[in-house]
Structure 1
Amino acid sequence: MWLYLFLLFCAILTYYVIRHYSYWKNRNVTQGPIVPIFGDNLLTVFRRESFFDMMNRLYQRFPNERYTGFYQMNNPMLLIRDTELMKMVTVKDFDHFTDHRTFLPDNSDPLWSKNLFALKGDKWREMRATMSPAFTSSKMRAMFCLMNECAEQLENYFQEESKKGQIVRNMKDVFTRYANDVIATCAFGIKCNSLKEPENEFYMMGRNVLDLGNLWKNLKFFAIIFMPKIAKFVNVTMFNSESSAFFKSVITENLRMREEQKIVRPDLINLLMEARKGKLKHEKESQEQDAGFATVQESEIGMKELKSKEITDTDITAQALIFFTAGFETASTLMTFMSYELAVNPDIQKRLQDEIDETREKCNNKLTYETLTRMKYMDMVISETLRKWPSAIAMDRCCVKPYTIPAARPNESPVHLKLGDIIWLPIVGIHRDPEYYPEPEKFDPERFNDENKHQIKPFTYNPFGYGPRNCIGSRFALMETKTIFFHLLSKYELEVVQQTRVPLKVDKKSISLDAEGGVTLGFKIRQ
């Protein structure tokens, strides 16, 4: 009797599993072999494959398809491979895919639910239009002086360190500290020197927000990303209470002081204070991408004129905190991988240093925003780093209105997406597709010279995302990266040392893009 019940239970379970994981097959969409419960994430869950490599693998699995199905644990996802289809869902039919998927309930973590990344629908549109004027080239020009001070601060620190002998450093640590200082001054109005004062409160609180080094935080982020329903049920929060309280108190006190003492500073807080008063307006930009090839252009949504909007202290804190979490990790990742590529490609590093020397001579050793934006080879090197090592490995979109992908080939059937369905846009897969970039593993800045960059097919280069929901801070990230490399390479050569791992491998244990064992390089003083 019990044996029959057990067999019946197994049969029902098997039927459920097979039925559930046939979601895409039943819709005439290709899908690969899956493991029940884990879907396509088995290797990622057990740290045998990085998310970076997983998305690349899924992209390459069916090279002749416009789209393919996969399963994130037990959740069916649609991976878009075709660039024309990407354009349709992220630009032409954007109204059907305006949102990112929901990670947490709106009331579980106010600082998360109110930030620009997590906001949805009209609330997102209003905040995007509110914040967009803060990231124009004119605002970046004003903010450049703060950023340049941080880069000079780092340069001076290493000058002192070089007197003690050879400098060998973990580059991710160097660049996270620089990124921390930049965001502290540009977003929170606080000056830090995180290399000289390695345990300053702002840096330690920032690490506390982002550090995935302990088991609980790894499990928490794993639950949020791969099992959002369970994360909702157990009321997981994105930011812990200690860090949230710290950053909120910093913003509140800063706002109070500025209001009372009439302090004006060219940073994000001041710009959001102006927006709160209805004084922040979008300025028309020149058509020239002065910030670099990778810079994204603002859509009509971001350039929309709004009446004065009620912006609370919590709103300002939420924007500053997401600016911190996004910029701290992704910018330092870009800088780390760029430093590695320069060290293992000394000919490219030498050419970049020649451009830096020429620029330094032209501006009489006083770097300005205008001279920085004219550095073509610097922009080529950064653009190629973002192609080969995109910090934003993939982007998701949530279907907010029923949508049909029409059949375009004889083997296809219309794919009907319903409310809540998730699509993925595999940035790393496209950037490493030999159809678009021959010898994709090769680091070649010439792909982005004046002759070649105009031949890059639309929607095959998207390091800062797609459509109106692209990254609002692309200008900031590019300027931040150019500034630090200008100062570092003026005085030092980055070189491979005994501790450097060549070739570089992507860390399988990290959720975000990171190098296995880190990137350790030597700083050799230039003659």
Structure 2
Amino acid sequence: MLLDGVLILIAIIGALVMWLRWNYGYWKKRGIPYVEPTIIFGNMKEVITGSTNIGVVSQKIYNQYPGEPAIGFFNMRQPVLQLKDLDLIKAVLVTEFSNFRENAMSITKQADPILGRNPFFLTGDEWKEARKTHTLNHTANKLKTLFKYIEEVKDDMVNYIKKNIGRKFEAQDFSGRFTTDVVSSCVFGVKTCSLAEEDSEFRKKSIEILQMGWKWSLFMISPSIFSILRIPLINKGIQDFFYNLVKDMVEMRKNNKLTRSDFLQNLINEKEHNFTMMEMTAQTMTFFIDGYATSATEMSFLLYMLAIYPDIQDRVRNEINNVEKLDFDTVHHLPYLDAVFNETLRLYPAGVVLSRLCNQDTTLKGGNKTFEFKKNDRIEIPVFALHRDPEHFPEPLKFKPERFLNNANHPALLTFGAGPRACFGSRFAKTQIKTGVAYLVKNFRILPGTEDRSMPTVNNSKTVLLSPDKEMSVKFENL
């Protein structure tokens, strides 16, 4: 009996091992070079265990086969094709978009009523409609209307720093408070005072949005589990907070016949769609999450790079001082500030990888090879790795803004993606970040908060977005 039991156990373990390894010959059969996977984790052990940021793991895969236009790897048991060749990447994101139109990650509205309505996760006609709504609300004219609210927050920030000269600020926290105040005003019409009120309830809720912990790690690996088991990425308390906020603001405006030139008002005025309260909440939170979180990350690295490179900061200041007025138009016509912005986001992009699904069999050429993409093949575009590839950007670990002075549209720069699924909020992000930074540089000298002047490393995976491995602080002094 004991022997029979042992044999059965061995057979079960053997069958389990075979099942776990069953798909690991996928890329070999297709003649595509690949990184040898380990059982259970595939090539994603560091991501699954939370020890390393997915962008850094993606870069390790990228560096395995120099010169190859694409590399296969495994997300647990799922085969993924990482694209390295720029022609292949352009085809997937732009010219052949109709064959790769869906993100590889999605979540249903039943699982998460907020993110399930976010254009990033939507598919098909729902994505088209959501993209249309957000694109119409991110035109230059709409952003010009919102600029006065950015200026109000900018004034509050400058006055706050004048009262706190020499104080050390953690760069991400400081930037997050600025973008929270900007976006809450532009989206909801709410003045949140996150800088002055350090225990602001609104600021606390904003931080909680991205504190997904194990959820995000699991979602990156197996998003379908969340839809099947109806597990929300954003917890119920956060959903309720913003739902009630939107409901109260809409009712207050309607009951008192009030209007305001902001994103929420645009939704209220949209007669064609007649949005439900939950749809309004999801739409406003899409704008809020994109505008607050990613912009805060990007702004924090930009401030720190200016702090540790004082000569570059001085050059930005000279450019700003040579314009008569810092308004919406001039903020977008400061070539050197633009170059510094692009170089910062090259090194520290908010989105470190892009993912797509092939929705029908397609043949594409990359390098000197032809690739047969099969329906449901998962594709990865390794943004972080591309941005640090010396073939595209010589001396990639050096901070050299001048590389973008005459080439702002480098094909390997994918900070905001490319094609129809590119980030529609990029113009707003650039507007608030550049405005905030321009006025800080104009009024103060930005210094590092510690004696350390080294460039930040970003191996950890503490949050959904890139975050530095060690303290990244700044302080301000009068000019």
TM-score range, shorter chain: over 0.9
| Matches for 1:289-438 after TM superposition, within 5 Å | 308-359=272-323, 362-363=324-325, 367-399=326-358, 401-406=359-364, 412=369, 414-419=371-376, 421-438=377-394
Q: Output the CA distance in 2 between the equivalents of 1:409 and 1:52.
A: 24
| Alpha-carbon contact 1:104-1:224 (below 8 Å) kept | no
Q: Output the CA distance in 2 between the equivalents of 1:21 and 1:517.
A: 37
| Alpha-carbon contact 1:28-1:413 (below 8 Å) kept | no
Q: Output the CA distance in 1 between the equivalents of 2:17 and 2:132.
A: 50
Q: Does 1:442 align with 2:406?
A: no
Q: State the shift of 1:317 in Å.
A: 1.0
Distance 1:413 1:207, change over 3 A: same
Identity level (%)? 29
Distance 1:377 1:67, change over 3 A: same
> Alpha-carbon deviations, 1:54-107, whole Å to 9, x = none?
122222222222211111222221111111112222222212222223443331
Q: State the shift of 1:167 in Å.
A: 1.5
Instruction: Give the alignment partner of residue 473 of structure 1, picking from 418, 425, 429.
Output: 425
Q: Output the CA distance in 1 between the equivalents of 2:180 and 2:93.
A: 32
| Alpha-carbon contact 2:319-2:336 (below 8 Å) kept | yes
Q: Output the CA distance in 2 between the equivalents of 1:428 and 1:397.
A: 16
Equivalent position amino acid for 1:520 in 2: S
SS in 1 for 2:169: strand
Q: State the shift of 1:312 in Å.
A: 2.1
Deviates more, 1:241-250 or 1:224-233: 224-233
| Alpha-carbon contact 2:42-2:75 (below 8 Å) kept | yes
Distance 1:475 1:452, change over 3 A: closer
| Matches for 1:91-110 after TM superposition, within 5 Å | 91-110=94-113
Distance 1:343 1:102, change over 3 A: closer
Equivalent position amino acid for 1:209 in 2: I
Equivalent position amino acid for 2:341 in 1: I
Instruction: Give the alignment partner of residue 241 of structure 1, picking from 217, 229, 236.
Output: 236
Distance 1:220 1:438, change over 3 A: same
Equivalent position amino acid for 2:20 in 1: V
Distance 1:520 1:237, change over 3 A: same
SS in 1 for 2:432: helix
Instruction: Give the alignment partner of residue 486 of structure 1, picking from 422, 432, 438.
Output: 438
SS in 2 for 1:470: coil
SS in 2 for 1:385: helix
| Matches for 1:32-181 after TM superposition, within 5 Å | 32-162=35-165, 166-181=166-181
TM-score by length of 1: 0.85
SS in 2 for 1:199: coil
Deviates more, 1:385-394 or 1:89-98: 89-98
Equivalent position amino acid for 2:363 in 1: I
Q: State the shift of 1:481 in Å.
A: 0.6
Q: 1:186 corresponds to which residue?
A: 186
Runs of 4+ in 1 over 6 A off after TM superposition: none
Q: Does 1:200 align with 2:197?
A: no
Q: Output the CA distance in 2 between the equivalents of 1:338 and 1:433.
A: 21
| Alpha-carbon contact 1:69-1:76 (below 8 Å) kept | yes
Q: Output the CA distance in 2 between the equivalents of 1:154 and 1:352.
A: 19
Q: Output the CA distance in 2 between the equivalents of 1:15 and 1:262.
A: 66
Q: 2:250 corresponds to which residue?
A: 255
Q: Output the CA distance in 1 between the equivalents of 2:366 and 2:466.
A: 34
Q: 1:522 corresponds to which residue?
A: 475
| Alpha-carbon contact 2:443-2:478 (below 8 Å) kept | yes
Q: Output the CA distance in 2 between the equivalents of 1:203 and 1:226.
A: 29
Equivalent position amino acid for 2:375 in 1: K
Q: Output the CA distance in 2 between the equivalents of 1:230 and 1:45.
A: 15
| Matches for 1:7-22 after TM superposition, within 5 Å | 7-22=10-25
Q: Output the CA distance in 1 between the equivalents of 2:474 and 2:366.
A: 50
Equivalent position amino acid for 1:358 in 2: N
Q: State the shift of 1:407 in Å.
A: 5.7
Q: Output the CA distance in 2 between the equivalents of 1:439 and 1:409.
A: 23
SS in 1 for 2:101: coil
Q: Output the CA distance in 2 between the equivalents of 1:127 and 1:504.
A: 36
Q: Output the CA distance in 2 between the equivalents of 1:310 and 1:503.
A: 49
Residue segments in structure 1 that go unaligned for 5+ positions in a row = 278-307
> Alpha-carbon deviations, 1:217-253, whole Å to 9, x = none?
4112222221224334443102211111111111122
Residue segments in structure 2 that go unaligned for 5+ positions in a row = none
Q: State the shift of 1:508 in Å.
A: 1.2
Q: Output the CA distance in 1 between the equivalents of 2:56 and 2:381.
A: 14
Q: Output the CA distance in 2 between the equivalents of 1:54 and 1:40.
A: 8
Distance 1:78 1:513, change over 3 A: same
Distance 1:332 1:408, change over 3 A: closer
Equivalent position amino acid for 2:52 in 1: E
Equivalent position amino acid for 1:508 in 2: N
SS in 2 for 1:423: strand
| Matches for 1:189-228 after TM superposition, within 5 Å | 189-210=189-210, 212=211, 217-228=212-223
> Alpha-carbon deviations, 1:187-211, whole Å to 9, x = none?
111011101112222212212222x
Q: State the shift of 1:484 in Å.
A: 0.7
Q: State the shift of 1:143 in Å.
A: 0.6
